[in-house]
Structure 1
């Protein structure tokens, strides 16, 4: 059996990763995983990542900001879920906080209100306690803070 893995020089891998990072914001974990998948050795990885940082292809703060904006606007995730996902990607608290700062409090409250009202209308459950639980579970899964969720569930399902 022949190894079907394509081999890369440090130079070609660097150019490939520049394109990879230019296409969309990436975090260190994404880049590291990509390099490992390409079959690069640790010495080459230790050479490529600083190059990407130096030439501003890789910037974790920018990544956190883009991630937080996108997941909030498109998927309607709450701060808890965004934080959890960014931690899983190895970002530190300071960087995560900078990313979350991209979400204005007014937009956050408005989105939460719209999302919870929309979900409440979609529910077919007639028992008020089960309905409240289903609404709360949905919102908690999406990463909204529990004190907001339970207050909204009581408000929408009296």
Structure 2
């Protein structure tokens, strides 16, 4: 059985047009676009030229991407700041932009999301021993990217 062949692009103009469409569909990091252009088979010098043109045309904006990513992961998946930061680092977003994006998350909303997350998980934890139960809840919240001190505060103050 034949494997589907990926289409190779050699013309930088075609690459730019496809990359514009790719960026217009949703916010992308420079690294995501760079990886996609390599996947399409463009040469490194053409790739850097296309990325420059995408930035000039405002199709590509790392700060906008970082903010959209942070808000999206927080609002849609209830991720904590640690997990969001890791995700942005994997996309090779500069630390300065990561910090700004994380500051864009409202602290009250953040605490409310953590509280909801813990309450929802608490209803499914069957552990009877109090310390083990709290440990399980704390581990769960940490796996979702929340800070240990915040989790401890919420657990203490909400009586979970």
TM (normalized to structure 1)? Answer: 0.91
37, 42, 48: which one pairs with 1:40?
Answer: 42
Q: How big is the alpha-carbon RMSD for the aligned residues of Structure 1 and Structure 2?
A: 1.9
Report the Cα offset of residue 95 of structure 1.
Answer: 0.4
Q: Give the structure 1 partner of residue 78 of structure 2.
A: 76
TM (normalized to structure 2)? Answer: 0.90
Q: Give the structure 2 partner of residue 10 of structure 1.
A: 12
Listed one character per residue, the Cα deviations across residues 84-142 of structure 1 (whole Å, up to 9, x for unaligned) are 11112111121012211221111111111111111111211222222112111110011
Task: Point out where structure 1 has 5 or more consecutive residues left out of the alignment.
Answer: none
Report the Cα offset of residue 152 of structure 1.
Answer: 3.1
Report the Cα offset of residue 48 of structure 1.
Answer: 0.6
Report the Cα offset of residue 154 of structure 1.
Answer: 4.4
Task: Point out where structure 2 has 5 or more consecutive residues left out of the alignment.
Answer: none
Deviation beyond 6 Å, 4+ runs, structure 1: none
1:128-139 matches, within 5 Å, as 128-139=130-141
Query: Aligned partners of 1:88 and 1:139: how far apart in 2?
Result: 21
Q: Give the structure 2 partner of residue 100 of structure 1.
A: 102
User: How many residues were matched structurally?
Assistant: 157
CA pair 151-101 structure 1, distance change in 2 beyond 3 A: closer
- Given that 1:5 and 1:39 are in contact with CA atoms closer than 8 Å, whether structure 2 keeps it comes out as no
